[in-house]
Chains A and B, each alone.
Chain A
Amino acid sequence: MEQLNVNLCGIELDNPVIPASGTFGYGYEFAELYDVNCLGTFSFKGTTKDARFGNPTPRIAECTAGMINAVGLQNPGVDRVISHELPKLKQCFHKPVMANVSGFSVEDYAYTCEKLDKEEQVGWLEVNVSCPNVHGGGMSFGTSPEAAAEVTRAVKAVTTKPVIIKLSPNVTDIVSIAKACEAAGADGISLINTMLGMRIDLNRRRPVIANTMGGFSGSAIFPVAVRMVYQVAHAVKIPVVGMGGVSSAEDVIEMMMAGATAVEVGAANLVNPYACRDIINDLPGVMEKYRINNLKEIIGGVQLWEKM
Chain B
Amino acid sequence: MKQSIFTIVRNDALTDCVYKMILSGDTSAITAPGQFVNIALEGKFLRRPISVCDYDDTTLTIIYKVVGKGTAQMKAMEPGEKLDILTGLGNGYDLSVSGDKPVLLGGGVGVPPMYNLAKKLTAMGKKVTVILGFNTKSEIFYEDEFRALGCDVIVATADGSYGVKGFATTPLADLDYTYFYTCGPEPMLKAVYKATATSGQMSFEERMGCGFGACMGCSCKTLTGYKRICKDGPVMRKEEILWNS
Number of interface residues of B (CB under 8 A): 26
Q: Is the interface of B mostly helix, strand, loop or mixed?
A: loop
> A300–B209 Cα gap in the complex (Å)?
33
> How many angstroms from the CA of A124 to the CA of B39 in the assembled complex?
36
A67, B218: Cβ atoms closer than 8 Å: no
> B residues 190-245 with Cβ under 8 Å of A?
206-210, 212-221, 226, 231, 244
B215 partner, pick from A22, A218, A274, beta carbons under 8 A: A22
For B220, give the chain A residue with the smallest CB separation: A57
User: What interface size band does chain A fall in?
Assistant: 35 or more
Interfacial chain A residues near B9, Cβ < 8 Å: none
Is B45 within 8 A of A63, CB to CB?
Answer: yes
Q: How many A-B pairs with Cβ below 8 Å?
A: 91
For the complex, give the distance between the alpha carbons of A67 and B86 in Å. Answer: 19
- Chain B residues with Cβ below 8 Å from A272 are 3, 40
Q: Are B1 and A69 in contact (CB under 8 A)?
A: no
**Are B45's CB and A271's CB within 8 A?**
yes
Residues of chain A within 8 A of B218, CB atoms compared: 57, 59-60
**Which A residues touch B226, using CB under 8 A?**
53, 74
Interface check B75, CB cutoff 8 A: no
Report how far A208 CA is from B208 CA in the complex, Å: 12
Q: Is A269 an interface residue (CB 8 A)?
A: yes
- Contacting A67 at CB < 8 Å: which of B1, B45, B244? B45
Q: In the complex, which residue of chain B has the Cβ closest to the Cβ of A274?
A: B3
CA distance A269 to B231 in the complex (A): 16
Which residues from chain B contact A197 at a C-beta distance below 8 Å? none
Within residues 26 to 64 of chain B, which ones have a CB less than 8 A from any CB in chain A? 40, 44-47
* Chain B interface residues toward A at CB < 8 A: 1, 3, 40, 44-47, 86, 206-210, 212-221, 226, 231, 244
Q: Which residues of A contact B (CB under 8 A)?
A: 22-25, 29-30, 32-33, 45, 53-54, 56-67, 69, 71, 74, 208, 218-219, 267, 269-274
